[in-house]
Structure 1
C-alpha cells in the first residue's frame, strides 16, 4: 500500500468526541456499543477491532467525580440561598444523582475507548486496513503533524 493511501489515525480530541457520541473513534460512522456498556468486537463500518480496549474502572471514577461535583454544588447553592423542604431534598437528589450517573456512564466509557485508540494503547496500535500505524517513535500522540507544524509557527512548539 503506498504511503499516501495509509489510513491516518484520528486525533485525540476528535477520537474522544466520537467515542463520547457512541461512534467508532476511527471512522466516526459505526457504533461502539452493542448493549448499554458492552463494546462491540469491531466496528461494522471500518473494521477497527474494539474488543481489546481496557476501559476498566476509569469511566465510573470520572462519572463519580463529575456527578458529585455538579450535584454537590447545586445542593450547596440551594441550601445557602433558598428554603427548600427536606422532603424535596430527600426525594429529588438521589434520583437526580442516579439519572446523571447512568446518563454519563456510556458516553464517558466511549470517550475512554477513543482516548485509548488515539494514543495507540493496548491493541489499537494497528489500524483497520491491516497496515500498522506509524512507527512507535513517530506516532502522533496529541494531533497530526500539520497541527504541530502550525503550533511551531505560532511559537507554541517544543522548546
Structure 2
C-alpha cells in the first residue's frame, strides 16, 4: 500500500491548526477538541487517536528549552530563588499553552498523512485503494 499524502504539507497545516487535507477549515475548537469533520472540505477527522502524545511531546520540548536556559540564567546572573521560580514557572506555562494545540494539530495531521487509525478507510471501514 503506497502512501501518497504529502506529509510535510499536512503537518505544517496541522501546526497552523487547519485541516491537514485542505488547509482551510479549522482543525480544533475549544482549544484542544478536534472537529469531527472539516467545515471546508468535509474530511472526517474523528478517527484521530492523539491521546497523551501531544502533551508528552510538549513537556519534552519545553523541558529541553527551559532546562538549559535555567542553568545559564542561574550561573550568569544568580537571581533570587523566588524570581527564578516565578519567571520560569510563568515561562513554562505560557510556552506549554502555546505549543500544545499546535503539536496536537501536527500529530493529527501526521496520522492523516500516514493513513493511521482509520484515516485510510471509508465510512464502512473498508481500506481505501491508493493509486
TM-score, scaled relative to structure 2: 0.88
Q: Based on CA coordinates, which of the two structures has the bigger radius of gyration?
A: 1
Deviations 1:88-120 (A, max 9, x none): 112111111111111110000000000000100
- For residues 36-80 of structure 1, what are the alpha-carbon distances to aligned partners after superposition, in whole Å with 9 as ceiling and x for unaligned? 000000001111000110001110110000001111111011112
> Relative CO higher for 1 or 2, CA cutoff 8 Å, sep ≥ 6?
2
Tell me whether 1:102 sits opposite 2:97 in the alignment. Answer: yes
Of the three residues 41, 47, 50, the one matched with 1:52 is 47
Q: Decide which of 78, 83, 93 is 1:83's aligned counterpart.
A: 78
Once residues 75 and 58 of structure 2 are traced to their aligned partners in structure 1, the CA distance between those partners, rounded to angstroms, is 25
Find the aligned partners of 2:92 and 2:43 in 1 and give their Cα distance. 34
Q: TM-score, normalised by structure 1?
A: 0.73
Gapped runs of 5+ residues in structure 2?
Answer: 123-127
Which residue of 2 is the match for residue 113 of structure 1?
Answer: 108
Could you tell me whether the CA contact under 8 Å between 2:5 and 2:113 is conserved in 1?
A: yes
Aligned residue for 1:153?
Answer: none
Equivalent residue for 1:22, pick from 3, 17, 37: 17
| Alpha-carbon distance, 1:9 to partner | 5.0
CA distance in structure 2 between the partners assigned to 1:83 and 1:35 by the alignment: 40
CA distance in 2, matches of 1:87, 1:61: 27
Give, in whole Å, the separation in 2 of the partners of 1:133 and 1:45.
24
Structure 2 Cα separation of the partners of residues 9 and 124 of structure 1: 13
